[in-house]
Chain A
């Protein structure tokens, strides 16, 4: 009796898209190998039975090479072969390579259904595959599907019931490839086509010089679009809404509440010159929605919009190739740029994505570098908001300091930690242009995730801070840390509260820095420290899960040291003289 269906296959063949199609459960799908690093579960109804469907990280063979691949092979081994069905998803444009894993699965005795995915692309490439013949030669059901449009999903569901394990002798690697050669020869016919512009660009992007130019242009345009569209949303849409519509009604509420008292303090916060100041009042109805919706959300939206495009087009593995050399010096390899880029959105998925790296040492270095040197988009938006009114040098300065810390710390960790950095071996996918609906679905999914995670925490954070301020319990904490904050970092002692709140969420913390009345240079130092000091609590939890308690303690020690060093250095460099 079948109880579970596993979706397996080589990396980047469209397992996650198909999973969403089958179960209706939305998961992130992109155009690079290793998007899925966690397992996702959903259910389908088959002949009246509720069956669990599991989306697994892609793998090239049943012998794993990274933590993500390990998940797949372990999970397959744990289950009784009679109770599961394996759907092996194959990239139809790359039949030959995909069949290797398929033969392994059949030999291991799993009941397999082959799903020939991306059948739309197959036609563009002038490839024709004889499905009946393939079915006969493999001895297992074969279905042709297209995950993006949903073609073939119904037939796939019908064929699932036909699957049976097939007895096959174990082959050696060599014999397997020989057999694959024969199968491909028999079922696949190719039409000769001329090179398309897309292929010319694909080739150019993996060459050093042209690749570098293309990457620089893409990154520059991406940065400009993120900045421009976020600014546009803020100045044209959100600020007018907050100032012209929201503020008058809040001020009415403030008068009703009598402009003082605990409730007024919690909801509205302090009045600045008798009026509500969205950036400084620090109330649950004033500063919280303003920071989240008018300062942070526009950047989250535009950042993820661009990231989704870059992911789906297939730009990231090419960037990884360009950066391989540099990252080797930090004990990583090129592919580590993917967790780092995801970390710029939010550190949590970034650190989870380090599972695509091969060794424990690499995962440790990458996680530490992300949690220290990569500010999430919410924090970046606030840094722009904090320092934007001063000279642009300050914003650039924050990024330069972070980049320097990132390089130095990586180099040092690479020297100290035992072991070596493994070599890089990835597949560079073709450029793809998925339909816009897919892109917006993914964007919506990420924004929803951001709001669900951020809003409760920021409300809680501001609520606690307001209680502390109202009952004047701040002095006790600030005095303990005054020698470090004032003496070493040159900041007002109250800044420790903001740094501590940074443990909850960085955007609230940055919001608090505004209220302290610091000079531009002090703001610059505190913004930089906020970025490199402890990451927020959600990141801590994921660090604990991914690294274990021992490495988490090591990482924490590194964070404290780096914060003290950078804070003191900046103070003596730019404040003291």
Chain B
């Protein structure tokens, strides 16, 4: 996800990390198979904004790095 370009849509393929992180992302609507759109990326390992469904989420760099996506 961190390597994805701004304003591109992609599909989540994998979330690596503990069950806790997976559960947390899952409850907010990020799970394998889900389509997301990256809105922005802050410099110096800053946070990333994505659009999931109708909501905009901001997530830290460390968390975004654990989410693998695939461009369609």
Report B-chain residues with C-beta under 8 Å of the C-beta of A428. 49, 55-58
One of B23, B46, B57 near A425 (C-beta < 8 A): B57
B interface residue count range (under 10 / 10 to 19 / 20 to 34 / 35 or more): 20 to 34
Using CB atoms, name the residue of chain A closest to B60: A423
Q: Contact at B56–A94, with CB atoms within 8 Å?
A: no
In the complex, what residues of B have CB within 8 A of residue A325's CB?
Answer: 42-47
Instruction: Report yes or no: A97 in contact with B53, Cβ–Cβ below 8 A.
Output: yes
Binary contact track B19-38/A, C-beta < 8 Å → 1, others 0: 01001111111010010000
Contact assessment for A324 and B23 in the assembled complex, using a CB-CB cutoff below 8 Å: no
A96 to B60, CA, bound (A): 23
Say yes or no: is A173 at the interface (Cβ < 8 Å to chain B). yes
Binding stretch for chain B, among A59-67, A109-117, A138-146, A376-384: A59-67
Mostly, the B contact residues are mixed
Stretch at the interface among A201-209, A439-447, A563-571: A201-209
Chain A residues lying within 8 Å of B40, measured Cβ to Cβ, are 206-208, 211
Docked complex Cα distance between A317 and B59 (Å)? 12
When A206-B49, A206-B58, A424-B59 are in contact, do A65 and B43 touch as well, CB less than 8 Å?
A: no
Expressed in whole angstroms, the Cα–Cα distance for A325 and B60 within the complex equals 9
What residues on A are CB-neighbors of B34 within 8 Å? 177
Is the Cβ of A324 less than 8 Å from the Cβ of B47? yes
Contacts of A424 in B (CB 8 A): 47, 58-60, 63
Q: Is A472 an interface residue (CB 8 A)?
A: no
- Pick the residue among B25, B26, B29, B31 that contacts A96 (CB under 8 A): B29
Give CA–CA (A510, B42) in the complex, Å. 42
Q: How far is the CA of A370 from the CA of B44 in the complex (A)?
A: 26
Contacts of A334 in B (CB 8 A): 47, 58
Which of B42, B53, B61, B62 counts the most chain A CB atoms within 10 A?
A: B42
Find out whether the CB atom of A173 lies under 8 angstroms from the CB atom of B23: yes
Q: Chain A 318-352 against B: per-residue CB contact (8 Å), 1 yes, 0 no?
A: 00111011001000011000000000000000000
Give complex CA distance A317, B63 in Å.
18
Q: Are A174 and B58 in contact (CB under 8 A)?
A: no
Quote the shortest CB–CB distance from A12 to chain B (angstroms).
10
A residues engaging B (CB < 8 A)?
60-61, 63, 65, 93-94, 96-97, 100-101, 173-174, 177, 202-203, 206-208, 211, 317, 320-322, 324-325, 328, 333-334, 423-428, 430
Residues of B within 8 A of A (CB): 6, 20, 23-29, 31, 34, 39-47, 49, 52-63
Query: Can you offer 27 A-B residue contacts whose CB atoms are under 8 A?
Result: A61-B23, A61-B24, A65-B24, A94-B53, A96-B29, A97-B55, A101-B27, A203-B39, A206-B39, A206-B49, A206-B58, A321-B49, A324-B58, A324-B60, A325-B43, A325-B45, A325-B46, A325-B47, A423-B59, A424-B59, A425-B57, A426-B57, A426-B58, A427-B28, A427-B55, A427-B56, A428-B56
